[in-house]
Amino acid sequence: MDNPLHPFELHNFVHLSLFGIDVSLNKAVLMMWVVIAVVAGLLLFAAANRRLVPSRLQSLAELLVEFVRGIILDTMGEYGLRFFPFIATLFLFILFSNLLGLIPGSYTVTSQIVVTAVFSITVYVISLVLGFVLHGVKFLGILVPPGTPAWLLPLMIPIELISQLARPISLAVRLFANMTAGHVILGVLFGLAIAGGALIGWLPFAFTIAMYALEVGIAFIQAYIFTVLTCVYLGDAVHLHGHESHAH
């Protein structure tokens, strides 16, 4: 094992250039198409013949939709439901790219920081624009926690500014690092199992199976966390110290 990050390197299959922008095909691009096809196919197929007594597939789709709806209602309240399409798309894309990436031989799109950074920066820009549209200049009050005495302001404003700016970074790095680290750990353990041979190799192999189960859980939890934090950040912009945004 010279370099545990080797499986994450991307090599272009086809070199394409569109108006000077690199749009080459590689494993990550193909995997994104697969994820989109699976999500869209699943939901379209589940919604194709709706019944009052749902079939199994329809129950699954209803479960997913109700789950995202519950997250939004818990963190943002009724107002948040107008962001439902955006948040549900984000959740389903991240969830399915995490889960499909666990299939051996496929590729985890979310283990590229550029993908997660685009998501988190988009979420952050939306929350900023939303805050300034809804509250105008008063939105700058997000830098001052309610009840701060005036003499603490020179200290609190820089701290709050840093914590605001850390939001998109931590959101992106959390998902990227979890996915990358999980796959590196699986790779290292499996390498140990092969190197150990039949005599002792079963021990790391058993660990590999246990870690794989944990990774399936992590794939779900990370998609959930990303969605919850997206809702919390958007909710902060909507309510601005409102009583409904104390979910974190």
Binding site residues, another protein, CB under 8 A: 5, 170, 173-174, 176-178, 180-181, 218, 221-222, 224-225, 228, 248
Contact 242, 141 (CB under 8 A): no
Nearer to another protein, 10 or 44 (CB): 10
Nearer to another protein, 6 or 56 (CB): 6
Nearer to another protein, 119 or 139 (CB): 119
Nearer to another protein, 43 or 173 (CB): 173
Cβ at position 110, least distance to another protein in Å:
13
Strand partners for 17 = 22
Strand partners for 18 = 21
Cβ at position 229, least distance to another protein in Å:
9
Contact 10, 27 (CB under 8 A): yes
Cβ at position 247, least distance to another protein in Å:
9
CA–CA separation, 169 vs 230, rounded Å?
13
Determine how many CB atoms are found less than 10 A away from the CB of residue 166: 11
* Residue 125, amino acid: V
Determine how many CB atoms are found less than 10 A away from the CB of residue 215: 21
Nearer to another protein, 82 or 248 (CB): 248
Cβ at position 60, least distance to another protein in Å:
21
* Residue 128, amino acid: L
CA–CA separation, 79 vs 27, rounded Å?
39
Provide the Cα torsion 204, 208, 213, 219; round to 10°: 140
Cβ at position 109, least distance to another protein in Å:
18
Helix (H, G, I), strand (E, B) or coil at 197: helix
Q: CA nearest 227: which of 115, 68, 100?
A: 68
Nearer to another protein, 127 or 227 (CB): 227
Cβ at position 178, least distance to another protein in Å:
6
